[in-house]
Amino acid sequence: MGTDVKAIHQRDADLRRRAERVIPAGMYGHHSVVNMHLPPNFPQFLKEGNGAYIRDVDGNEYVDLLCSYGPIILGHRHPAVEEAARKQAALGDCLDAPSPRVVELAELFTSTVEHADWAVFAKNGTDATTGCLTIARAATGRSVILAVRGSYHGAAPWCTPWPAGVLPQDRANMRYFDYNDAESFKAAVAEAGEEFAGVIITPFKHIEGFDQELVDPEFARLLRRTCDDCRALLILDDVRCGFRMHLGGSWEPIGVRPDLSAWSKAIANGYALAAIAGSEKYREVASTVFLTGSFWFAAVSMAAAIATIGALRAEDAVARMARAGDLLKTGVVAQAGAHDLAIHYTGHPTMPYITFEADTDYERMTTFGSAALNAGTYLAPRHNWFLNAAHSDDIINRVLASTDRAFDAVRRAYGGD
């Protein structure tokens, strides 16, 4: 580590050409380096991951500061998780009926997540957030859900950030407010009127490409009181943050518990799984909503999740990630100052993001990301980063060696500002 990665991505270029013939635009969603506005040197295809590192198809190795956009929380190929998945795979995965793992996981999940009295498992975050909205509407008999303007909750028509194919009626029962803005929220509640069914919100504001914003506890309490007064449901979208901010739920430290929560990403350390968790009050109505999917009961991911939660507890992983995040923040902020560059370092310590004050179209951030990649660290210029439990002090110091070179590249290209 510490030396430049290979300048030529020959195998990656060949795979891109082949993909363009058989996959629309060559790749789709947030796994497209084009859609995510990544610099040209970012690989489209990766070969493997191990611990804190990933390797592309041309053999270049990077410290992984994106963690597959969040799912990797213990590090790639964590031994206990892989062993649990291997053992279950030897027995079966997609069977005619659920395996005992679904009961074991539900017991473990509800004993871990403080506000959860029951859980339903699915496959991805969009399943979970959409399921929460459906349950809220079934519970209240109302139609309107409030959400933060610009916030990401998945890829369904009601929430996708891309408008292609989305009809006005797909979002006719959505109303919007601004994060941490009490007056904006109250106005949205008034607009919803008697059809106010619930609120969906992320634990902190993490809209791609913008400064992150931690929740104001008083604002969270306002949401809780308003939902109680209006008999609406408070839904916490913990898909991105779940198990990184707090093992018992991201808003536990501020004492605000949702009625429903949506989970995915990190709960099985990279295996495909999602969850809807809810309070006792909404157990019966949840049983009346038809929730299912072709692979929602697959047992391997559930075995992986059981092992993941066990490792998170045994390894004190949340505290370890927070320590790594604090070390990273201290180093990055000091480097920016040393290079005479004005940045904003925002977000939770385990999910930070930086922006340059002088940027007008992410030009400095793009240069920064490209230079960091060349120096051996994979991070996203327009997406928050993720820490995982494999990020030791030594590895964070390697990241800081990369970011120092990246700040130098920005300074040389644009000057100090």
Short-list 201, 217, 205, 228, CA closest to 146: 201
Give per-residue pLDDT as tens, 379-391: 999 999 999 999 9
Which residue reads 């041309």 in tokens?
58
Cα gap 25→249, rounded to integer Å: 38
C-alpha separations of 190 from 3, 147, 167, 177, 193 in Å: 58, 14, 24, 11, 5
Cα gap 273→248, rounded to integer Å: 18
Structure tokens at 359: 């940027």
Domains and CATH numbers, the chain: 10-74+316-414 (3.90.1150.10), 79-314 (3.40.640.10)
Q: What is the pTM of this model?
A: 0.96
First to last CA, the chain: 30
Cα gap 240→353, rounded to integer Å: 14
Backbone angles phi, psi at 51, to 5 degrees: 60, -120
Give the DSSP letter of residue 163: -
Cα gap 385→47, rounded to integer Å: 20
Q: What is the pLDDT at residue 138? A: 98
**Structural contact between residues 41 and 48, judged by C-beta atoms closer than 8 angstroms:** no
Torsional class of 293: left (φ above 0), alpha (ψ -120 to 50), beta (otherwise): beta
Q: What is the pLDDT at residue 76? A: 98
**Structural contact between residues 189 and 196, judged by C-beta atoms closer than 8 angstroms:** yes
Structure tokens at 292: 């299912």
Buried b / exposed e along 152-163 (16+ C-beta atoms within 10 A)? bbbbeebbbeee
Residues in the chain where the model's pLDDT stays below 70: 1-8
Give per-residue pLDDT as tens, 321-366: 999 999 999 999 999 999 999 999 999 999 999 999 999 999 999 9
